[in-house]
Amino acid sequence: MSQYSGTRQKSPRRLHDLDGKFTPDYAEETKRLRSMRLTDTAWNLLAEIASKNQITRTEVIEIFARGGDLY
């Protein structure tokens, strides 16, 4: 973990365009900030799934909501 960062490493999945900006995951929709309450157990399980798939917890929820499968 970097001494200047709260994360161990950034997900390599996010692509950048030629200008260096992030390319959207879902071109037809932009993501908006949401709020939800979860138990510590659910939060930790989301972290485990995200780590195994090298994605964020947010992306885990997005994939589940869209009917996708993760291991």
Residues 16-29: tens digit of each pLDDT = 677 776 666 676 78
Residue 70: pLDDT band with limits 50, 70, 90:
confident
| Domain range annotation of the chain | 36-70
Q: Which residue has the higher pLDDT, 54 or 5?
A: 54
Distance CA 16, CA 8 (A): 20
d(CA 62, CA 50): 11
